[in-house]
């Protein structure tokens, strides 16, 4: 092993379960429980799910594997790992793009994450009792467009993630993920059992499982692709950073597959916890972003045991968001501590202050008459669209090309051989997807920009 690749006293994950819990913790987030169900609802149910599964298999997973390989080889943050593997080339720009994307995602994501705390408190205290559906919708409207409350909850949420990050990788991220992720799985299973045993649940199950291709548009395909990146946390160096904390004994192909399966199963379970209940109470499934915060409180009000299940649901959303936010922060913190030589505490403080500033602007862009609206979209929406539909796909495209065409073959084989008897299948998978994934991303992307049309 060359000198630059030998590991120093770098912090890292200590067990296989810890790696899976932390990486799945990053992948499973608001994307699975808040966004996936509503984009499925808007795009006609299971036909969309099918496209999404293909996107995960042919595009998302190869990028995930590539990030793990690059990170473990580089043993460093997202920028330096590229510099070490391909010195004196501009590929490290991918790492920079990732850091920009990290700030942008944290900007809008922590705002919604803050909502989960507010909604958890509202359900636990029976705050929706006796409300009509209009009142529930007004409550959401008033809260999400207020200029104070969302910012306060966002700051509380950010402080909670810092508490986890403070312990570092092994004693912070890994330790808490090992507790929180099994908790999340337990809660979601309880919620699914409640939902599918409601009278009238079958219509919702059918909505999820019976394909309806008539509502499948090309923009739905773009959404599926963008979401496959977002959901697996790839395209911006998060999994690369986590990969740099994975020890040399782990089989990266198996880790990649486990995380993709966990992430997809949890997204489907979230759908199974939500749609049967939505249909059972005769509510419209295509409510969009308000599905979780407007539709579901209505559902919980009518459901036997609704207070407990409602509180559990928002707690689930909170945990899912927490382990994801922690992973995005880590991309920036790893960079700042390693490159600017700041202490972890100082790096966390500086990053958090910057994020609070961006998040506050995002939250304020949702207030009435806000001046933070550009071309008809709020700053909040821009951060979402630009990352999911532009930065992550471009980052993913470049990462795949880097692994497929720049990364040395002997180094690739060396990384894949760790913990693995045969690397034939993985090599074949990489060989195929290094052509398919970039072409798929490019087509969908050019379509999204209106440059090509079908």
Task: State the nearest-atom distance from the C-beta of 355 to ligand PFF, in Å.
Answer: 13
Q: Are 194 and 309 in contact (CB under 8 A)?
A: yes
Q: Distance of alpha carbon 158 from its chain centroid, rounded?
A: 16
Nearer to ligand PFF, 113 or 412 (CB): 113
Task: State the nearest-atom distance from the C-beta of 120 to ligand PFF, in Å.
Answer: 17
R_g of the chain computed on alpha carbons: 21
Contact residues toward ligand PFF (CB under 6 A) are 26-27, 29-32, 105, 230-231, 233, 236, 238, 324, 327-328
Nearest to 160 by CA among 365, 319, 34: 319
Nearer to ligand PFF, 136 or 164 (CB): 164
Helices (H), 29-87: 30, 36-42, 46-55, 61-74, 78-85
Nearer to ligand PFF, 101 or 444 (CB): 101
Distance from C-alpha of 86 to C-alpha of 4, rounded to nearest angstrom: 12
Nearer to ligand PFF, 39 or 198 (CB): 39
Distance from C-alpha of 21 to C-alpha of 170, rounded to nearest angstrom: 12
Nearer to ligand PFF, 105 or 316 (CB): 105
Q: Quickly count helices (H) and strands (E) in the chain.
A: 21, 2
Task: State the nearest-atom distance from the C-beta of 281 to ligand PFF, in Å.
Answer: 26
Task: State the nearest-atom distance from the C-beta of 31 to ligand PFF, in Å.
Answer: 2
Nearer to ligand PFF, 306 or 396 (CB): 396
* Cβ contacts of 373 within 8 Å, gap of 6 or more: 365, 379
Task: State the nearest-atom distance from the C-beta of 231 to ligand PFF, in Å.
Answer: 4
Structure tokens at 9: 């006293």
Task: State the nearest-atom distance from the C-beta of 387 to ligand PFF, in Å.
Answer: 8
Task: State the nearest-atom distance from the C-beta of 30 to ligand PFF, in Å.
Answer: 4
Half-sphere exposure of 94 (CA within 13 A, CB side): 35
Distance from C-alpha of 448 to C-alpha of 311, rounded to nearest angstrom: 38
Nearest to 63 by CA among 291, 283, 225: 225
Nearer to ligand PFF, 222 or 328 (CB): 328
């Amino acid at each position: 092993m060359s000198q630059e690749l030998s590991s120093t006293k770098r912090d890292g994950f200590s067990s296989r379960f810890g790696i899976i819990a932390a990486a799945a913790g990053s992948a499973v987030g608001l994307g699975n429980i808040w966004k996936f169900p509503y984009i499925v609802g808007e795009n006609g149910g299971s036909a969309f799910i099918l496209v999404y599964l293909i996107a995960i298999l042919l595009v998302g997973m190869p990028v995930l594997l590539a990030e793990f390989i690059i990170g473990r080889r580089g043993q460093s943050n997202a920028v330096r790992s590229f510099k070490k593997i391909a010195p004196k080339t501009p590929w490290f720009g991918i790492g920079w793009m990732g850091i920009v994307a990290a700030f942008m995602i944290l900007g809008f994501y922590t705002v919604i994450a803050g909502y989960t705390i507010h909604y958890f408190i509202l359900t636990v205290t029976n705050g929706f009792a006796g409300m009509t559906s209009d009142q529930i919708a007004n409550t959401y409207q008033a809260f999400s467009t207020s200029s104070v409350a969302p910012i306060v909850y966002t700051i509380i949420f950010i402080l909670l993630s810092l508490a986890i990050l403070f312990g570092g990788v092994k004693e912070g991220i890994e330790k808490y993920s090992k507790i929180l992720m099994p908790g999340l799985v337990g809660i979601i299973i309880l919620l699914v059992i409640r939902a599918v045993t409601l009278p009238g649940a079958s219509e919702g199950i059918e909505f999820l499982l019976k394909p309806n291709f008539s509502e499948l548009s090309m923009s739905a395909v773009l959404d599926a692709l963008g979401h496959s990146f977002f959901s697996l946390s790839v395209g911006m160096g998060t999994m690369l950073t986590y990969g740099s904390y994975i020890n040399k004994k782990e089989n990266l192909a198996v880790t990649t597959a486990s995380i993709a399966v966990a992430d997809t199963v949890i997204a489907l379970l979230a759908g199974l916890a939500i749609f049967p209940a939505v249909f059972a109470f005769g509510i419209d499934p295509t409510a969009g972003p308000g599905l979780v915060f407007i539709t579901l409180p209505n559902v919980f009000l009518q459901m036997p045991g609704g207070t407990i299940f409602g509180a559990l649901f928002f707690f689930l959303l909170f945990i899912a968001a927490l382990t994801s936010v922690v992973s995005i922060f880590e991309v920036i913190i790893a960079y700042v501590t390693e490159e600017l030589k700041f202490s972890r505490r100082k790096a966390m403080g500086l990053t958090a202050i910057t994020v609070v500033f961006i998040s506050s602007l995002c939250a304020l862009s949702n207030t009435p008459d806000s001046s933070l609206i550009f071309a008809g979209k709020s700053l909040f929406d821009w951060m979402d669209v630009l990352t999911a539909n532009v930065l992550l796909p471009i980052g993913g495209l470049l990462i795949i090309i880097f692994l497929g065409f720049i990364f040395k073959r002997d180094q690739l084989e060396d990384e894949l051989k760790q913990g693995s008897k045969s690397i034939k299948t993985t090599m074949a998978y990489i060989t195929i997807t290094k052509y398919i994934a970039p072409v798929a991303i490019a087509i969908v992307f050019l379509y999204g920009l209106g440059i090509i049309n079908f």
